[in-house]
A and B are shown apart, each in its own frame.
Chain A
């Protein structure tokens, strides 16, 4: 049972560099999410998707982009990295359409921008 898989686990970026955080799930879930978690804080929603081809902004979308070309994959793109984007990023998926509230999270990607 792979669940939600995120890569890479750790990354250091220089200011202005770009990168893509990968996320894939094998549970055929319709909903997928990207959250960021700053030290000692809760999770803030960056972007989410309710199905392939559909994405929407969350609470803190600035500086990020996403795409959802397949049910399984939901990559998060950082175009011009800034120190404020230093955080731990979590991808999650769920199947809310069935009334189930449980979201499954990946292990996280720890990103440092210097």
Chain B
């Protein structure tokens, strides 16, 4: 069936660097794309979402970019901090259906 996947399983950055986490999706009918952060031992936490009719959305220190031509989604984190270390999942949703999650990318931030 349709799936959402990630290019990089682990991303290591230095504190203060900008991080970019990528995601490929295959369901062109998805209406929303969402990024979640999961810290060790906790449930996923919503970060930001973007509608399929947009190509960019900014939040606090985060930006999500959507390229529908190549079915690619990215999460940019500015001035990465140690507290950003976590697993990041992209997810997609069609209409009012359920979320489909990708496998996740581990972000490791070194001081």
Q: Which residues of A contact B (CB under 8 A)?
A: 4, 33, 35, 40-45, 48, 50, 58, 90, 92, 96-97, 101-108
Contact = CB atoms under 8 A, between A and B. Distances in A.
In the complex, the 9 A-B pairs of residues with the closest C-beta atoms, listed nearest first: A105-B43, A42-B101, A102-B46, A101-B49, A43-B101, A42-B103, A101-B32, A96-B96, A105-B44
Contact of A90 (B43, B46, B98, B103): B43
A99 to B, nearest CB: 9
Contacts of B34: 101-102
Interface of B: 32, 34, 41-46, 49, 89, 93, 96, 98-104
A50 B96 CA distance: 10
27 contacts: A4-B43, A33-B98, A33-B99, A35-B101, A41-B103, A42-B89, A42-B102, A42-B103, A43-B44, A43-B89, A45-B100, A48-B98, A92-B43, A96-B93, A101-B46, A101-B49, A101-B93, A102-B46, A103-B44, A103-B46, A103-B99, A104-B46, A107-B41, A107-B42, A107-B43, A108-B41, A108-B42
B101 A108 contact: no
Contacts of A106: 43
Nearest to A100: B49
Q: Is the interface of A mostly helix, strand, loop or mixed?
A: strand
A102 B99 CA distance: 10
Contacts of B44: 43, 90, 103, 105
A43 B92 CA distance: 12
B20 to A, nearest CB: 19
Contacts of A4: 43
B45 A105 contact: yes
Contacts of B41: 107-108
Of listed B32, B101, B102, residue having the most chain A CB within 10 A: B101
Of listed A97, A103, A106, residue having the most chain B CB within 10 A: A103
A41 B49 CA distance: 21
